Structure 1
Amino acid sequence: MHDHAPYTDRTPDPEDVGERLEALQGALHANGITLPSLGLDLPSLVGHYRLPLIALGNCNVETAGRLTEVLLKAAVR
């Protein structure tokens, strides 16, 4: 997994966006979380947006609970 610097004012190239999506998917997986609808929001990638969007999509209540648990645990660090 790559170490990614925060986005700047530049528009990221699609490869960078894809790498960030994969990194997010990997981080979620490392915490036992799968978001089945996770993906790029294609209109934002080709549109006039400053930054492309990553669509987190839908998840079931069990996954939402697990995600909440992981985020709260990380917030206390």
Structure 2
Amino acid sequence: MRPRNALDWVAFVLLLIGAFAWGAFVTDVNVLDRALEPIADPLDDAVFVLIALSGLYWIARVAGLGPRDSSP
């Protein structure tokens, strides 16, 4: 399944960021916390919430609960 619209692409990019963040998290380095802490501490929490929502969006999309693709 490929991203087809802007919301798909935003959710996909957030999933990639989340995947890399979890990959670094298992090595005891919270990449998002280190990158976003100088800007604002609650910002990394907001990004993690967006990553979780994008994961739920893609689960629904893959399960066929989202809009149907009109192209073959």
**TM-score category (smaller protein):** 0.3 to 0.5
User: Taking structure 2 as the reference length, what is the TM-score of the superposition?
Assistant: 0.33
User: Taking structure 1 as the reference length, what is the TM-score of the superposition?
Assistant: 0.31
Greater fraction strand: 1
